């Protein structure tokens, strides 16, 4: 997965090539899935599958591609994030407000206040358009690399860097000792760095 590949697919997509757009969306699936997990309220996570939210987002994006007015990849990613947020909002409306039931008595966890986001693991915040593209590409690659990790390492990293949990909270949620949780985080980060360095040297990571 390279920045140039995404640019080529993006340009073809703007010309109405739905096959190219589908390939581009697939490259962004892991990234959007991580965001969906972050956006979903804790009270609905047992009833709403983030994979379904992402799939609906893809279908709507393919349907509405003709209405997209951007000319840059970062604008497309912003557009996709907005569609994703709207679908998450619809899920919340359905499960939290229309069908309150017992969920209304549970503690609310606002996903937008859950600590550092996935992109906090990517290069530091920048301001120029080209640097913003690089940051978005880094976040996409990072999400994809996380999918390749063992499940326990991936879950530990998700809890820390997406949900913003402390080491103690991670240990409790994963039913492990704090030492074991710290080991998962350490090994997960090492594996991520190795993967990202490997992709960088082969041209798969924007540097």
Write the CA distances from 39 to 91, 115, 187, integer angstroms.
Answer: 11, 12, 26
Q: Phi first, then psi: give them for residue 177, nearest 5 degrees.
A: -75, 160
pLDDT of residue 100: 56
Q: Which pTM value belongs to this model? A: 0.62
Residue extents of the structural domains in the chain: 1-114, 115-207
Same fold, 1-114 and 115-207: no
Count Cα neighbours of 90 within 13 Å in the Cβ-side half-sphere: 12
Flag whether pLDDT at 205 surpasses 60. no
Which CATH entry fits the domain spanning 1-114: 3.30.413.10, 1.10.1740.10, 1.10.260.40, 3.40.50.1820? Answer: 1.10.1740.10
pLDDT tens-digit series, residues 171-197: 999 999 999 999 999 998 888 778 766
| Burial profile 86-118: b = 16 or more Cβ within 10 angstroms, e = fewer | ebbeebbeebbeeeeeebeeeeeeebeebeebb
CATH topology of domain 115-207: Arc Repressor Mutant, subunit A (1.10.10)
pLDDT over 50 (residue 107): no
Q: What percent of the chain has pLDDT over 70?
A: 71
Q: Is 205 left (phi over 0), alpha (psi -120 to 50) or beta?
A: beta
Query: How confident is the model at residue 129, as a pLDDT?
Result: 52
* pLDDT tier for residue 82 given thresholds of 50, 70 and 90: very high
The answer, yes or no, to whether residue 46 has pLDDT greater than 90, is no
Tens digits of residue pLDDT in 134-154: 566 667 777 777 878 888 998
């Amino acid at each position: 997965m390279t920045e140039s590949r995404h640019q080529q697919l993006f340009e073809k997509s703007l010309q109405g090539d739905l096959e190219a757009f589908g390939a581009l969306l697939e490259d962004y699936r892991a990234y959007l899935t991580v965001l969906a997990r972050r956006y979903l309220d804790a009270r609905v996570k047992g009833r709403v599958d983030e994979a379904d939210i992402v799939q609906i987002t893809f279908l709507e994006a393919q349907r509405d591609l003709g209405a997209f007015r951007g000319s840059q990849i970062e604008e497309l990613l912003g557009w996709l994030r907005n569609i994703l947020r709207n679908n998450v909002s619809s899920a919340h409306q359905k499960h939290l407000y229309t069908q309150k039931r017992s969920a209304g008595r549970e503690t609310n966890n606002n996903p937008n206040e859950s600590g550092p986001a996935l992109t906090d693991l990517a290069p530091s915040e920048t301001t120029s358009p080209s640097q913003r593209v690089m940051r978005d590409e880094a976040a996409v690659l990072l999400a994809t690399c996380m999918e390749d990790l063992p499940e326990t390492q991936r879950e530990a990293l998700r809890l820390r860097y997406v949900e913003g949990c402390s080491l103690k909270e991670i240990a409790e949620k994963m039913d492990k000792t704090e030492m074991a949780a710290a080991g998962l985080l350490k090994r997960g980060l090492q594996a991520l760095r190795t993967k990202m360095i490997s992709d960088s040297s082969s041209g798969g990571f924007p540097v």
